[in-house]
Structure 1
């Protein structure tokens, strides 16, 4: 704990948050108050920095909001890679797809992701470029990685894939459509039990393999 400060340090607030830590605090402010209710004062107070310091880095609330969303995307950009690598290496394609469906549930249906999706969607008209960047570097990026994993399984003879991009989209929405719709429309209140999500995952994989499975995997 600091009990004294040099004259140079008294001009600021020692120990204030910087970089990604500051953006995480700003994200909490936006999620708590939404864009309209969030203030630069609240962010500065939460980060324990002066308003002057905050404005030097982010000249306006609009600039800060864009930085918060970009930071969020950067934090989760490659989170799917190890799971998709495990899918590509799987010897049991049904089990591999089932595990991936559970990962999608754990990620996309988690409260932080749902809250950020809701915030970005609510501000998409005000900040179309921010929303477009989120879609391109998060959703589209992960869909491309999934398509490549499915293409690889097709090359191994474990799936019959004509268009990996279409197959990736179908697998994603088979696993996510119903729970994501319900949780989005109820602000996350109508949550599913683990058993309910497991049934959704199993049915999604069964339907997917009925369409794309090799003879042995679809049996």
Structure 2
């Protein structure tokens, strides 16, 4: 693809993301997106037929970081020397990412528009929490086979892990608590979640 087209699309999606987060879906126009991106109106319409298509691009672009986190899960839990420490580190990274201000604002935006974009919400759920749970489940299954965990239902165990780590913190963030957790809070919440998980599924 022409690098100029790539740069233009990046600028449009970045501007669209900022405006949707600032003004909501209804309050944003493609003309405003063009002005914020510093491109001609025609450039926006050449790349995105309408506001709905741009909104979809904004939401799905935000799922791109999931692949990197899934790779981190595979790497962190593949024959770790210290399983508990590896899980604590992974849990801290997961909690920081899931409660970051920008991602929380995007999730709120998508939740607010779920009646308008039900298929997009389902796709986001599959691409983000769904992929993370699947990666955790696969890792827990392998760790069970290696005798390091006792997991009968890997998918359910992965859901338990995710809720123990994210649960109430993510709920509070989605419901309006704009304050990001500091490092000490992240460590305390994530570590206690791992402790509870290993109490249920560990072999010790």
Residue 196 of structure 2 is matched in structure 1 by: 207
Residue 176 of structure 1 is matched in structure 2 by: 166
Per-residue deviation at 1:185? 1.5
Residue 21 of structure 2 contacts residue 105 of structure 2 at CA under 8 Å; is this kept in 1? yes
Residue 86 of structure 2 is matched in structure 1 by: 96
**For 1:62, what is the secondary structure of its paired residue?**
helix
Residue 88 of structure 1 contacts residue 150 of structure 1 at CA under 8 Å; is this kept in 2? no
Residue 126 of structure 1 is matched in structure 2 by: 116
Residue 61 of structure 1 is matched in structure 2 by: 51
Residue 121 of structure 1 contacts residue 131 of structure 1 at CA under 8 Å; is this kept in 2? yes
Q: CA RMSD in A?
A: 1.8
Q: Distance in 1 between the 2:59 and 2:27 partners? A: 17
Larger radius of gyration: 1
Residue 79 of structure 1 is matched in structure 2 by: 68
Q: Distance in 1 between the 2:135 and 2:69 partners? A: 8
Q: Which has the higher contact order (CA 8 A, sep 6+)?
A: 2
Structure 1 residue runs of 4 or more that deviate by more than 4 Å after TM superposition: 14-17
Say if 1:47 and 1:95 are closer, same or farther in 2 by CA, change over 3 A. Answer: same
Greater shift, 35-44 or 20-29, is seen at 20-29
Gaps of 5+ in 2: none
Aligned residues: 200
Gaps of 5+ in 1: 1-13
Q: Distance in 2 between the 1:54 and 1:154 partners? A: 51
Q: Distance in 2 between the 1:45 and 1:17 partners? A: 15
Residue 95 of structure 2 contacts residue 166 of structure 2 at CA under 8 Å; is this kept in 1? yes
Residue 14 of structure 2 contacts residue 37 of structure 2 at CA under 8 Å; is this kept in 1? no
Q: Distance in 2 between the 1:46 and 1:93 partners? A: 47
Q: TM-score, normalised by structure 2?
A: 0.91
How far does the alpha carbon of each residue in 1:171-204 deviate from its partner, in whole angstroms, 9 at most, with x for none?
A: 0000111211112212423x43322222211211
